[in-house]
Homo-oligomer: A and B are copies of this chain.
Amino acid sequence: MQPFELLLPLALILLLSKLMGLGAHKCGMPAVIGMLVAGILVGLLRYIPWEPLQTAFFGADVEFAISVMSKIGVVLIMFSAGLGTDLKKLKQTGVASIVITSLGVIVPMGLGALTAFMFFPEAGVLSDLFYGAILTATSVSVTVAVLKELGKLDTKVGTSIVAAAVIDDVIGIVVLSVLTGFSSGGNSGAGWDWFNPNACLVIIKIVLFFAAAIALGVGLRKLFDRMERSAPHNRRIPIISLAACFVYSYCAEKFFGVADITGAYLAGILLGGTLSETPYVESKVDTMGYLFFSPIFFASIGMDLDFGGLTPAFLAFGAVFVVMALLGKLVGCGVGAKLCKFTWADSFRVGLGMMVRAEVVLICTEKGVQAGLVSESIYPFIFLIILLSSILTPILLKWSYAREEKPKKHPVPPPEWGEE
């Protein structure tokens, strides 16, 4: 096919993604939902048996080109997330966020892995753990938007959630790197052994990757510092950042067996933080993302959504998995907050806030599917997790705060909701 012919599917994806994204936004849901629906709609074209249409949208060439662009989309999302990660925030909020996140990672990961093990005992430890790892991802943008709207972002609940989300991302990336490392180290999971030489090699490679990446990153930061002073807001800075991000992603996956998204995220953290040009780079990267690459990534997941593998057993597993995804974060983070002497009401809110999933859960799932550890049939349930969490969290958060406002008119607050 001619390269120009790809413009049609791209235009349709962009247009539908924007329309559906706006629709989702109007219903109070994140735009991600809309973009996934757009992809599903484009995917429905598969069922029209008209040869030219099939070639135009689903030819092998088209699928490869779209997969490359959606890969760039994922890398940009993770790079931007890294750039926006402010490691200094962690120091400010102290122990509370660490306790909240730790339980918020362990509980859903344990529940997810346990569910996978109970339904598919023959799949192997690595596969089970990957199902668990998927549930550790959180995306607090919906929560932040709701808290902002309610004027509660600067409260103890708000700052804890934002800081916990940062640690959550970092831990999630480390867990993912380790699991990807083991899977590419030749362990299918079934015959997995902590002490075999292969496993040692995997761990050595991961450590080497982080060491090399950080060392290179420190050098890059110095270069950027110098460039910033000589020519601020210059085009060369975002271009070199982008190239560095691509190199990190490529090397992570190719030479160290670490996920490419880990490389992109790490590149973002290393080039973010204290550099004065970071917001400039972030805005340029985000423009490329929202204008072109992100819609293609989300739509491509929607396009590939396949209900063919949904056996009754998998349906049952999926339903339990969705419940575990929601409960795991709610309980894990809620208990973590309670342990740090939050009130019951605030603990509930922290749990709710951390419950929301969006782009990161999709990216992790994709990684698991590509590694052969996670079934492709899980996508509809991941979709459901995003949908339910982003519908439930705003409703319940608003309800919880509304409930608190009322008692102020009465002299005695209901006993079950304490005051700070």
Contact = CB atoms under 8 A, between A and B. Distances in A.
Interface of A: 2-8, 10-12, 14-15, 18, 22, 61, 64-65, 67-68, 70-72, 75, 235-236, 238-240, 242-244, 246-247, 249-250, 253-254, 260, 284, 287-288, 290-292, 295
A14 B250 CA distance: 14
Copies of this chain present: 2
Nearest to A238: B291
A249 B4 contact: yes
A236 B65 CA distance: 24
A260 B72 CA distance: 25
A239 B4 contact: no
Nearest to A290: B235
A240 B71 contact: no
Contacts of A249: 4, 7
A10 B75 CA distance: 13
Contacts of A236: 18, 22
Nearest to A17: B239
Contacts of A67: 3
A246 B14 contact: yes
Contacts of A290: 235, 239
A12 B239 CA distance: 11
Given A4-B250, A8-B254, A242-B291, 9 more contacts: A4-B253, A7-B75, A7-B249, A7-B260, A11-B246, A11-B247, A65-B65, A235-B290, A239-B291
Given A246-B8, A247-B8, A250-B4, A14 B239 contact: yes
30 contacts: A2-B253, A3-B64, A3-B68, A4-B254, A6-B68, A7-B71, A7-B250, A7-B260, A8-B254, A10-B72, A10-B246, A11-B243, A11-B246, A14-B242, A15-B239, A18-B243, A22-B236, A61-B64, A64-B64, A64-B65, A235-B290, A239-B290, A239-B295, A242-B291, A242-B292, A284-B291, A287-B287, A287-B288, A288-B288, A288-B292
A70 B243 CA distance: 17
A244 B246 CA distance: 29
A379 to B, nearest CB: 18
A64 to B, nearest CB: 6
Contacts of A260: 4, 7
A8 B246 CA distance: 7
Nearest to A64: B61
A12 B246 CA distance: 9
A283 to B, nearest CB: 9
Given A288-B291, A291-B288, A7 B246 contact: yes
A120 to B, nearest CB: 26
Nearest to A254: B5
A107 to B, nearest CB: 32
B6 A243 contact: no
A14 B61 contact: no
